[in-house]
Structure 1
Amino acid sequence: MQKQRATRYATADDAGQVSSDPQPARVVHKRDFIDAVVAATGAKKSEARPIIEATLEQLGQALSAGQTLAVPPLGRGRVNLEKDQRGGDVITLRLRRRAGR
């Protein structure tokens, strides 16, 4: 019998709560992310897409290089663990955000 351990997860309503029956994490796909940025800024999708993609690429390169990110309002992130896998690198990131975000 497999022992179930408490898993820490966060949502906007209950950040940092511990649950023995965690909800699966909601995945935000790139197209949804781009749509949200376009809606928040009023920019044209054709103009916003290459900028967002370049930003994500730079964030990925910085994390792969083991650099610490200080990107308000996202927060301060650093690589805790990095593993090389057959399908690609697995990077565990510690992200510290200000309270109330």
Structure 2
Amino acid sequence: MRLSQLDQETIHATVAELFGADAVVHVFGSRVNDSARGGDIDLLVQSPEPVPDRRRKALQLVARLQLRLGDQPIDVLVLDPETARTPFHEEALRSGVRL
């Protein structure tokens, strides 16, 4: 995975801060491919509880991570019990790495 241990810990802590300690975060996409270069940070946040205003929470996570990790492209998907799973969610879960 092309994220430092410190970056991984920062992502995990920030997700817990915004979504709660029970939330799980997966990194997927190009950052899990050690031979790839560049690319944004793709995250899937899974919450066992419904997340009110998922879109706003995802944007808050992006903003906080950009402040903490540096200004870089970050994409966030939020999956909670009220989200209809799509093939994109399934692929992110299948190919992603849990932090």
**What TM-score results when the alignment is normalised by the length of structure 2?**
0.29
**What TM-score results when the alignment is normalised by the length of structure 1?**
0.29
Higher relative contact order (CA closer than 8 Å, sequence separation 6+): 2
